[in-house]
Structure 1
Amino acid sequence: MGTKVLLVGSGGREDAVARCLVRSGASLYSAIKNRNPSIISLSKEHIVCEETDFKRIQRFAVEKGVELAFIGPDPVLETELVERLVSSGIAVASPDRKAARIETSKEFMRDLMTRYSIPGNIPSIVFRSVTELKGFLKKSGKEYAIKPIGLTGGKGVKVMGDQVGTMEEAVDYASSIIGRDGRVLLEERVTGEEFSLQVFTDGTHVKPMPVVQDFKRAYENDAGPNTGGMGSISGADGLPFIRKSSVEKALNITSMIIDALKKEGSPFRGVLYGQFMDTENGPVVIEINSRFADPESMNVLSLMKSSIYDIFYEIANGNLHMNVEFEKKATVLKYIVPRGYGTKPETGVLTIERKSMPHNLRLYYAAVSGTLERVEMSTSRSLAMVGIADTIPQASDIVEENLHIINGNYYVRHDIGSGEMMERKASRTLV
């Protein structure tokens, strides 16, 4: 029997982590919000509860003799769970609340980068007054990304000239955030190709994962409202349209942020991921997050060769010296979502022909309940299909060729990772 490991979270990201943990020999104990059939099937025991119910989760972990814990969803990192687990003698491979501020407060993140002269920062300003906000926007003549300070689930940011069409709309949206949260963050708009760089870290040592790009817009050709993410791609040797020098600089920025947190007395232990944009002037930081990305984590975890239990154990003990290895393959993930997702999602039932799945396809269960062959959709993302191949278009084709195993009323973005998309991106690649 392997070491008892607590996993908190019930989405596709956590399903991927659960599979890696069990494959590493761990005995899984999970705290889940929805009855994710894959996580349940992998768990020795589980509880169904609000994932922010830290007192109940702590009791469950102590009662079951859990020795190591990993937390998936970002809202949980705003609770006392990590500190309570540590106080109960349980090792944790996730950041505490002070370290997690790098995600839970965008104001803190920008201020930290400024104070430690970390490159890749974007000029930004926080407003607490609607009057001052209006005067600033009308006078500046620039376009901005309008962001709540705290967590948004990937859906709270609106960019002028993109999701926000007019100055009046920008003022109205920013004012609504001030009315709700008391303040709003404006960041100068930057353009380029976005990419996600995830790392494992014990607060000192940094082990990077393959670079990934995700697609948040609901509809084909990156149109429609922002979502939590409709899919993501990774290449066998990086992303062909992202400069390798920019990825190297992004890793240096990530390491500098981790070092700054350590100097602040808030060492970061866990998974940290940066969302970057490759601009003409090099990579800039769009945001920093204190956990695995969703969906990008499923791309990299589908390729993981190392033991994730060993990685988590070394993170929790501040001794991450091991090599972390991944297969040299391309991946394409496409999310199966309810029709109307991003606006007015329609719930329903999906059936899955699991016996028809080829070896180069992974299927992860997200915000669903039911069995491995029949799931009830919620209003969020349902299933993630990941194709694995030598090239991104080939991996995309694997997903497309196997969509027939999912039956029901759903929507998927077919264009993600397609040959046409990759040709279009290649034409815009910076030199």
Structure 2
Amino acid sequence: MVSRVLLIGSGGREDAIARAIKRSGAKLFSVIGHENPSIKRLSEKYLIGDEKDYKSIEDFALSSSVDIVFVGPDPVLETPLVNNLLKRGIAVASPTMEAAQIETSKMFMRDLLTRHSIPGNINYKKCFSEQEVKDFFDKNKKDVAVKPIGLTGGKGVKVMGEQLKSQGEAINYAIEVLQRDGVVLIEDRMIGEEFSLQAFTDGKNTSFMPIVQDYKRAFEGDTGPNTGGMGSISDVNFSLPFLSKKAPEDARHIINDVVRAMYDENIPFKGVMYGQFMDTPDGVKVIEINARFADPEGINVLSLLKSDFVETLYQIYSGELNGERLFEDRATVLKYIVPPGYGQAPLPGDLHIDPEIEKLDTELYYAAVSGTLYDVKMSSSRSLAILGKADNIPEASEMVDSALKYVHGSYYVRRDIGKKEFLEKKIMAASRAKS
């Protein structure tokens, strides 16, 4: 019998997930927040609405007689959707609301690492009053990161020396977050190369994916405001050329430790766990642990996945995940096309995509757009992702740049992602940091 899989989400990441579901031979049913033309085309049936309206989604899942459900975006995991579907006897390969706290509460994540003495934790302080904030900064003279404890879409964290130019700015921002949320998290600032490691897990067993690096800053040279992610790279050896040799292994150990800790605390995590790490002179540090595929990094790994994705979802749900998944050993580069001004004051317009792009070896993913496959209306968020696969990162980057001429309209893209010169600077900086 052909599986009927329900996917929730309508971004570029979900477009990649939808394609993996279809490659597995399943029938796709979707809940989408906007009329993503690619996901609509792939779906047998779709519901357009608020992706956090869990009651409507439950009804849609039941009326569509779906066999298994997978959640794409993090805000959905903060709702009771997964718990309610499981209570109704519907299989789900995403974490419960309690397990998703590993992402939805940065405080929960830090405290879990502390309780179980998991390596990679960072010195942190939870402040519940303005006096606690002021007392912390009176005693601490190091640069710090100021973080809301909840979901921020990659845009709420501010770091001294980057978005925060002085201790005074850091204090003011910490108080702003505190007044809004009732608590603020302050962590030591880490210096090094960030990387993402994603893993399938059934609550006990894990299967790891290739390492990816995401580029959040809006402008070339890693400058400008933070965004949801302007692009991402992966390499042929499942690591990256500027990471230390031990970094991938240390990150895998940390994710395994987190999975075990959650199981031991009777909140088993089933789904995709995504660790955001930093390779520092003092070893690998945990920046965040997330409860779903990264965006855009999830698109990179899904484009390389050779194993049956839907079979993996069933193994996650049943607690019978076995062996490592198979991935192509190729380099990938992804670049997001965004409206001009994205990250500050976006000016969305219309884009026309030349159908000739389909003859190229690149892959085009649809994110926060509506319209048709060839004529899309942009929103204020990321619009299209172009991904190239090659024997090395610079070649994949050039493939993406060559494909951009088939997209017509006013848009912005970070062309430096994956470029040879940009990589060489990173490799040299990592070498200096180690010496």
Q: TM-score, normalised on structure 2?
A: 0.98
Q: How does 1:132-281 map to 2 (within 5 A)?
A: 132-237=132-237, 238-281=239-282
> Structure 2 CA distance, aligned partners of 1:5 and 1:88?
16
Specify the code of the residue in structure 1 equivalent to 2:220: E
SS in 1 for 2:215: strand
Report if the CA contact (8 A) 2:128-2:182 is conserved: yes
Specify the code of the residue in structure 2 equivalent to 1:29: F
Equivalent in the alignment of 2:347: 346
- Indicate yes or no: 2:310 matched with 1:304: no
Report if the CA contact (8 A) 1:8-1:70 is conserved: yes
> Structure 1 CA distance, aligned partners of 2:360 and 2:301?
17
Specify the code of the residue in structure 2 equivalent to 1:325: L
- The root-mean-square deviation of aligned C-alpha atoms, in Å, is 0.9
> Structure 2 CA distance, aligned partners of 1:139 and 1:93?
45
CA-CA distance at 1:197 after TM superposition: 0.2
Equivalent in the alignment of 1:411: 412
CA-CA distance at 1:131 after TM superposition: 2.1
Report if the CA contact (8 A) 2:216-2:228 is conserved: yes
CA-CA distance at 1:322 after TM superposition: 4.2
**Structure 1 residues 225-251: Cα deviation after superposition (integer angstroms, max 9, x where no partner):** 000000000001121111231110110
> Structure 1 CA distance, aligned partners of 2:129 and 2:355?
55
Specify the code of the residue in structure 2 equivalent to 1:283: V
Equivalent in the alignment of 1:75: 75
CA-CA distance at 1:130 after TM superposition: 1.1
Specify the code of the residue in structure 2 equivalent to 1:395: A
Q: How does 1:54-133 map to 2 (within 5 A)?
A: 54-133=54-133
> Structure 1 CA distance, aligned partners of 2:384 and 2:245?
31
CA-CA distance at 1:416 after TM superposition: 0.4
CA-CA distance at 1:201 after TM superposition: 0.4
CA-CA distance at 1:63 after TM superposition: 0.4
> Structure 2 CA distance, aligned partners of 1:248 and 1:65?
41
- Count of residues in Structure 1 that have an aligned counterpart in Structure 2: 431
Equivalent in the alignment of 2:398: 397
Report if the CA contact (8 A) 1:51-1:76 is conserved: yes
Report if the CA contact (8 A) 2:360-2:403 is conserved: no
> Structure 2 CA distance, aligned partners of 1:172 and 1:4?
50
SS in 2 for 1:120: coil
Equivalent in the alignment of 1:426: 427
Q: How does 1:324-343 map to 2 (within 5 A)?
A: 324-343=325-344
**Structure 1 residues 267-314: Cα deviation after superposition (integer angstroms, max 9, x where no partner):** 000000000000112100000000000000011111110110010011
CA-CA distance at 1:152 after TM superposition: 0.5
Specify the code of the residue in structure 2 equivalent to 1:308: F
CA-CA distance at 1:356 after TM superposition: 2.8
CA-CA distance at 1:54 after TM superposition: 0.3
CA-CA distance at 1:138 after TM superposition: 3.1
CA-CA distance at 1:359 after TM superposition: 4.6
Q: Which runs of 5+ in 1 are unaligned?
A: none
Report if the CA contact (8 A) 2:401-2:415 is conserved: yes
Specify the code of the residue in structure 1 equivalent to 2:428: S
CA-CA distance at 1:88 after TM superposition: 1.7
Equivalent in the alignment of 1:41: 41
| Greater Cα shift, 98-107 or 137-146 | 137-146
> Structure 2 CA distance, aligned partners of 1:164 and 1:57?
40
Report if the CA contact (8 A) 1:207-1:324 is conserved: yes
Specify the code of the residue in structure 2 equivalent to 1:41: R
CA-CA distance at 1:12 after TM superposition: 0.3
Q: TM-score, normalised on structure 1?
A: 0.99
> Structure 2 CA distance, aligned partners of 1:107 and 1:356?
45
Specify the code of the residue in structure 2 equivalent to 1:232: S
**Structure 1 residues 305-353: Cα deviation after superposition (integer angstroms, max 9, x where no partner):** 0110010011011100144100000000000000000000011111111
Report if the CA contact (8 A) 1:364-1:384 is conserved: yes
